[in-house]
Amino acid sequence: MDAIFVTGTAGSGKSSLTSKIVEWYSDNGAFAITLNLDPGVMHLPYKPDVDIRNYVDIEKLMTELNLGPNGALIMAADLVATKLDEIQSEVDGLNPDHVIIDTPGQIELFVYRASGPYFVTNFRSDNKVNIFTLDGMLVSTPINYVSIALIAASVRMRLKIAQIDVMTKRDLIADRIQDIMRWASSRLLLEKAIDSDAGQQQTSTDYKILTRDILQSMYRNGVVQTPIPFSNLTMNGMLNLTGSLSRVLSQGEEKFD
């Protein structure tokens, strides 16, 4: 069984991507299931095969512990790790080829608290990979791109598994996609784009220098990836994504050491 985690900032299309991946695998003869790890989500574009909401009740936490919505979400995120054995048993009982794991909308609740990395490390599967979703609307400027790429690098270091970066909502930035992919695939072109963007936005010199320093540091440490552009509406980019998944899961490429 392969475990495919889907992470990313709020609103970046994690749940939509989860639904499309499981749909693609199912259409191509593989048995894939979905695991929802977001205890606070109200609506999903798919019906979870395994659902953390069956184990952790946000409203019950708010009532019994006199917590507000944010406090209940934090408590629920920590409780996810305590339900690992039950979730593992439920997943193993279904015996899938792939389990697509949709993580909480608030990335900090899963990645930066101890419970998320614990779950990733101790969830039993033959292979693991994380897909980090970069919101195409947010990364359509060079400086924003570097900021989100820094989050992607941080997630990779926190989870310590192979990672594939995917830029979602490509259909919404169709007029900019070529420019974005051009400078996203080259440090020198990205630095030039940062200088140009900073001038147009009248960004302070200090902020521009900091952005360039962060970018250079990420390249020196080998944590920058060229994202795969993807559309949840048309599934444009799915072949590239599933090809990358196959290489990582089957051949162990891009493992995090």
DSSP state of 213: H
* Spans of the chain below 70 pLDDT: 198-204, 252-257
pLDDT at 48: 97
Residue 124: CB atoms within 10 A of its CB come to: 11
Alpha-carbon 191 to chain mean position:
25
Give DSSP secondary structure letters for 11-38. Answer: TSSHHHHHHHHHHHHHHTT--EEEEE--
pLDDT at 255: 37
Place of tokens 């979730």: 87
The CATH homologous superfamily to which domain 2-172+223-245 belongs is P-loop containing nucleotide triphosphate hydrolases (3.40.50.300)
